[in-house]
């Protein structure tokens, strides 16, 4: 195998596929990136057996062939080469020579016959949306999954397609995050649970562009993301997702409208008085025109007031500050609406169109003062 | 005590003095910053007993007084406050109230009677130079000190004042780094050894400005840096520094002129094939018109050629790549001159004016090919 391509495209391709290289594994072939130049493009593939990524770049292929290379060392070498054309050549003994200007590396390659290519996924049953939309759906919900929970379902996100809507749901035992996006046409109903790790990596690879699209295809066992010469294939998590709808409710006793950034800053300041690992709640007291935020800990106390608009009853309720901040940080609106029922019931942060719904369970507290 | 000042000046002052707050200590008073508003300015002091920093800011002092506060929590609170005026008030029970707009923190203060103020240093015997010059002298040599060496002297830098010259020297067992700067007038000869930790912190606090000055004063036991309402006082390291002059030599058998950035990049690439902790040398072969750089390891091999100008004999010599890179990275010149005697003798990287001299000991190697 021998080909010449630009350092920049090679480096970009390796950056993409390296997301599917496991950091720790007992199977050394998984630490490799497969370079396949058997056709008229150069294909890079990495596969940790849960998720696989493949991306193609153009180049001058002088001799067709393929070879597997340790992904980490190969990527680092390419990254540190001058910004010029790079020649990659595998000899019959499996030694791979990487040359660029006056620099020349020899590293051992592997025949790669034990490398597992991506499973073949039919591009039939799927949806198309902008990379921007998908990225936002993921990054604005993913913090709510519970990756190490014995219940594997909590380590994934529900992708719930229904007509012209894609709803993404993430939850752990204390909160639920839901984002909805409109699709460009109507699709048959489908629900799949996608591993959080896959979604994290996909959200890092895709762009912020509202112009560039990504197609998402499904089979019973797999999900395929297809965009810009790149495929990401992942296993789905098996099982039935939680019935989220029955946890949601439109009833409330108190509705509060508050400046989002001010509320985030205020809760953020309160967390200064919470030691790592301590479960001290922030106590919120809703009055007629003000939201009072209080925290008391061994380190000191804080007390702060925010202007609000209120409908309904006064209420005093405690929260884990992190959960409130996580949700408030990914909302773009200048003001947010908070809905409360009672101090034991979840608080909802949502907009009128239900584009987003964040449910946060309250924390019990004992009033000191 | 009660005063009002801007969040920004308070935050800047705390950032400066926090460098003298030890991260780990058994004496809890050392974790405090002393706030002293007994005169018509607000003074902040931290002192880890090796190094102390004090800085003054202006503010509206409503009630004179002083209090000691946990530096970390106080700094974090100030940092997260809105960008507005901050009121700091200590009550008779030692509770300190920090208020800013509608936010109000109460944290416990300490009377601070066990706090150690900075030692009084007479500003008599000293030199003055620009902050830019001092910062550069430090940052371009400090990487050569050996902080954990049983010989404490290696954990400091020699400040060697002689007439109109300040020479700064740092060394460990494998290399010496020397930088020289011209002073604006002639000073009596003096040699002191300044702890590396102090110099690191000073280099972070002072600016890059060639306009702003710093004065440095000496006593038998202490050094004082004075600049912009700030004092840094540090103990000196006792003892006699190494006789560096006898390790330097102007004799050479080979002189090579090479592009500095190309040489750095090339050695940097070679280190990719060196596993962490492995002491694999980079082997440099000097020919008539080219410097060849080679490394061989279990991970692979690299071979690279750089154009050079050469005077004298051919030579083949091995180096720890890190030591060469450390020195080459802090030189600003486009090309550098390397001087060699033989494969067992140190290599010198220096300019004709001896503004900088970097000595690096070679490493033994066995030629494989």
**Residue A264 CA neighbour count, 13 Å, CB half:** 15
Domain that holds residue A240: 126-244
Q: Are strands A347-350 and B230-235 parallel, antiparallel or unpaired?
A: unpaired
pLDDT at residue number B369: 45
What is the per-residue pLDDT for A280?
A: 84
The pLDDT assigned to B306 comes to 97
Residue B198 has a pLDDT of: 97
The two structure tokens encoding residue A258? 């508050």
Tokens of B143: 């990487």
CATH of the domain at A322: 3.10.150.10
Burial profile A230-257: b = 16 or more Cβ within 10 angstroms, e = fewer: bbbbbbbbeeebeebeeeeeeebebbbe
pLDDT (tens digit per residue) in A49-58? 999 999 999 9
The answer to whether B304 contacts A102, with C-beta atoms less than 8 Å apart, is yes
The reply to whether B333 falls in a domain is yes
B169-187 per-position pLDDT tens digit: 999 999 999 999 999 999 9
Do A262 and A291 belong together in one domain?
Answer: yes
Chain B residue numbers touching A278 (CB-CB < 8 A)? none
**What's the whole-number mean pLDDT along residues A100-112?**
94
The answer to whether residues A223 and A261 belong to one domain is no
Q: Is residue B113 part of a domain?
A: no
Tell whether A239 and A269 lie within a shared domain.
Answer: no
- Identify whether B320 is part of a domain: yes
B32-45 tens-digit pLDDT: 999 999 999 999 99
Q: What is the pTM of this model?
A: 0.91
Residue of B26, B57, B29 whose CA lies nearest to B117: B29
Query: For the segment B67-88, what is each residue's pLDDT rounded down to a tens digit?
Result: 999 999 999 999 999 999 999 9
What ipTM was estimated for this complex? 0.87
Instruction: Clarify whether residues A207 and A148 are in a common domain.
Output: yes
DSSP B353: T
Residues B221 and B258 in one domain: no
The band of B217, judged by pLDDT with boundaries at 50, 70 and 90, is very high
- For residues A275-303, give the mean pLDDT: 91
B241 and B253 co-located in one domain:
no
- Chain B residues 277-296 with CB within 8 Å of chain A: none
pLDDT attached to residue A364: 86
Residue A367 — very low, low, confident or very high, per pLDDT cuts 50/70/90? low
> What's the pLDDT score for residue B367?
60
Q: Which residues contact A205 (CB under 8 A, 6 or more apart)?
A: A16, A19, A53, A230, A232
Between CA A148 and CA A141 the distance in angstroms is: 17
Kindly give, in sequence order, each residue whose CB lies less than 8 Å from that of residue A128, ignoring residues fewer than 6 positions away: A183, A184, A213, A214, A215, A216
Q: Express as a percent the part of chain B with pLDDT over 70.
A: 99
- Chain segment A111-135, per-residue pLDDT in tens: 988 899 999 999 998 999 999 999 9
Residues B97 and B40 in one domain: yes
* Count of the separate structural domains present in chain A: 3
State chain A's mean pLDDT as an integer: 95
Sign, Cα dihedral of A262, A265, A268, A270: negative
Query: Any chain B CB within 8 A of the CB of A306?
Result: yes
User: Is A59 inside a domain boundary?
Assistant: yes
Q: What is the pLDDT of residue A369?
A: 45
Q: What share of chain A is helix, strand, coil (3-state, %, to 5)?
A: 20, 45, 35
Tell me the mean pLDDT in the region A147-159.
95
Q: Is the dihedral of CA B231, B235, B239, B243 positive or negative?
A: negative
Contact B80 A269 (CB under 8 A): yes
Residue A294 pLDDT > 90, yes or no? yes
Of A73, A102, A301, the CB nearest to B272: A73
**B108, B134, B149 - which closes a domain:** B108
Residue B367: inside a domain, yes or no?
Answer: no
Do the domain assignments include residue B368?
A: no
Q: Are residues A337 and A304 in the same domain?
A: yes
pLDDT at B255: 98
Residue with tokens 């060496």: B149
- For A229, half-sphere exposure in the C-beta direction (CA atoms, 13 angstrom radius) is 13
Task: List phi, psi (to 5°) of A233.
Answer: -115, 135
A70 against A24, higher pLDDT: A70
Looking at the structure, do residues B303 and B234 belong to the same domain, yes or no? no
Contacts of B305 in chain A (CB under 8 A): 102
pLDDT tens-place string over residues B281-298:
999 999 999 999 999 998
Domain boundary among B53, B81, B108: B108
Amino acid A125: pLDDT? 86
User: pLDDT at residue A241 above 60?
Assistant: yes
Judged by a CB distance cut-off of 8 A, whether residue B60 touches chain A is no
Q: Which of A244, A263, A279 is the last residue of a domain?
A: A244
Percent of chain B surpassing pLDDT 90: 91
**Does residue A77 sit in the same domain as residue A138?**
no
Same structural domain for residues A210 and A269? no
Residues of A with CB below 8 A from B103's CB?
Answer: 266, 269, 302-304
What's the pLDDT score for residue A107?
Answer: 96
Instruction: Answer yes or no: is B355 within a domain.
Output: yes
Mean pLDDT estimate for chain B? 95
In a domain, B170, yes or no: yes
What confidence score (pLDDT) does residue B224 get? Answer: 98
Question: Measured between beta carbons, which residues in chain B are less than 8 angstroms from residue A81?
Answer: 269
Same domain, A274 and A353: yes
Q: Tell whether the model's pLDDT for residue A368 goes beyond 60.
A: no
């Amino acid at each position: 195998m021998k080909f010449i391509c630009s350092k920049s495209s090679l480096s970009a391709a390796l950056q993409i596929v390296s997301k599917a290289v496991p950091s720790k594994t007992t199977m050394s072939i998984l630490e490799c990136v497969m370079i396949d130049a058997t056709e008229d493009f150069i294909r890079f593939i990495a596969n940790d057996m849960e998720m696989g990524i493949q991306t193609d770049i153009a180049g001058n292929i002088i001799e067709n062939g393929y070879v597997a290379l340790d992904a980490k060392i190969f990527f680092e070498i390419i990254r540190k080469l001058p910004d010029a054309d790079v020649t990659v050549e595998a000899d019959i003994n499996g030694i791979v020579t990487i040359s660029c200007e006056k620099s020349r590396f020899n590293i051992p390659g592997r025949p790669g016959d034990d490398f597992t290519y991506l499973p073949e996924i039919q591009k039939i049953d799927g949806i198309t949306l902008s990379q921007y939309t998908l990225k936002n759906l993921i990054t604005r919900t993913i913090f709510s999954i519970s990756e190490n929970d014995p219940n594997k379902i909590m380590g994934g996100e529900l992708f719930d397609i229904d007509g012209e809507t894609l709803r993404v749901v993430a939850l752990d035992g204390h909160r639920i995050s839901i984002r909805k996006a409109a699709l460009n046409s109507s699709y048959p109903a489908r629900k799949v649970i996608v591993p959080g790790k896959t979604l994290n990596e996909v959200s890092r690879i895709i762009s912020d562009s509202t112009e560039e699209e990504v197609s998402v295809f499904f089979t019973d066992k797999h999900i395929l993301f297809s965009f810009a010469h790149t495929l990401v294939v992942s296993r789905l998590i098996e099982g039935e997702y939680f019935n989220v709808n029955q946890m949601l409710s439109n009833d409330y006793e108190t509705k509060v409208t508050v400046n989002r950034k001010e509320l985030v800053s205020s809760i953020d300041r309160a967390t200064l008085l919470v030691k790592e690992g301590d479960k001290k709640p922030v106590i919120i007291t809703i009055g007629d025109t003000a939201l009072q935020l209080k925290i008391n800990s061994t380190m000191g106390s804080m007390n702060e007031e925010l202007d609000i608009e209120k409908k309904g009853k006064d209420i005093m309720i405690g929260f884990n500050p992190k959960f409130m901040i996580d949700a408030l940080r990914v909302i773009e609106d200048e003001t947010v609406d908070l809905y409360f029922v009672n101090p034991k019931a979840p608080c909802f942060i949502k907009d009128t169109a239900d584009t987003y719904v964040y449910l946060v369970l309250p924390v019990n507290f004992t009033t000191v003062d």
